[in-house]
């Protein structure tokens, strides 16, 4: 403004507190462009993976969760004229919020298992303590399936850690059931009785087979000593 009012470069520089060269540069830019705002906000090389490329990259990640960055880059470059490096793919994944994480370990349940579990929960949600005392409880042993011990990583977007492909079931459990008949006494199933329904089995246990009610906790075997591996979870 001072320059437009006819002030010299030196007086304008002294007035605003800057160098003479800054006054000349800004005045020339204002005269030529009509503004001193830098419009070169988008200057530089455009990104190889733009918004459309990120959507395609997200589809690739969802289709092959356990792929490495090299495999993802190979899939992205397949059938494309514009090739991108693993470095570019890796930084695009980070910008999208995609990280390599250990899959969430969940029970190996089918849709039928889940439906039956929900049905069982609804049927037993109002059970009393006395009813739960008649339940036969079990102890389990885990056996590893499909994978060896070690880390397996999958890629997923934020909020996708529980979707199919980001979870992994690795173990099954085999167990034997026992039920407390009297205080301080534990009764275990016998192998030849495994086929009996539990209520029927406990009704058919003869008095001779039942533990002595006077047996104390100290004299009786622990549940861990009496339980063994016999039948798989259905």
Q: Span 94-104, mean pLDDT?
A: 87
Q: List the chain domain ranges.
A: 1-43, 51-97, 111-232
In this prediction the pTM is 0.42
Read off the tokens for 36: 């001193």
Pick from 46-50, 120-124, 171-175 the range whose average pLDDT is largest: 120-124
Contact present, 147 and 170 (Cβ < 8 Å): yes
131-153: pLDDT as tens digits: 888 887 766 666 565 555 556 77
Give me 157's structure tokens: 């977007």
DSSP states along 75-125: HHHTT-SS---HHHHHHHHHHHT-EEEPPEE-----HHHHHHHHHHHHHHT
Contact between 226 and 188 (Cβ < 8 Å): yes
């Amino acid at each position: 403004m001072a320059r437009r009012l006819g002030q010299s470069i030196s007086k304008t520089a002294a007035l605003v507190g800057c160098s003479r060269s800054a006054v000349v540069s800004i005045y020339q830019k204002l005269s030529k462009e009509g503004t001193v705002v830098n419009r070169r906000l988008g200057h530089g090389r455009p990104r190889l993976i733009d918004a459309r490329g990120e959507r395609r990259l997200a589809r690739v990640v969802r289709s092959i969760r356990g792929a490495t960055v090299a495999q993802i880059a190979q899939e992205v470059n397949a059938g494309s004229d514009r090739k991108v490096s693993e470095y570019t793919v890796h930084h695009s994944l980070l910008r999208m919020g995609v990280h390599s994480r250990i899959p969430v370990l969940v029970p190996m349940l089918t849709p039928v298992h889940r439906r039956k579990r929900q049905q069982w929960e609804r049927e037993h949600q109002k059970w009393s303590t006395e009813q739960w005392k008649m339940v036969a409880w079990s102890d389990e042993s885990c056996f590893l399936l499909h994978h060896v011990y070690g880390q397996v990583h999958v890629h997923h977007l934020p909020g996708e850690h529980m979707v199919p492909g980001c979870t992994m079931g690795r173990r099954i459990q085999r167990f034997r059931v026992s039920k407390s008949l009297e205080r301080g006494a534990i009764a275990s199933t016998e192998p030849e009785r495994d086929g009996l329904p539990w209520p029927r089995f406990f009704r058919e246990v003869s008095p001779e087979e039942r533990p002595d009610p006077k047996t104390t906790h100290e004299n009786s075997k622990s549940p861990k000593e009496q339980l063994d591996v016999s039948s798989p979870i259905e």
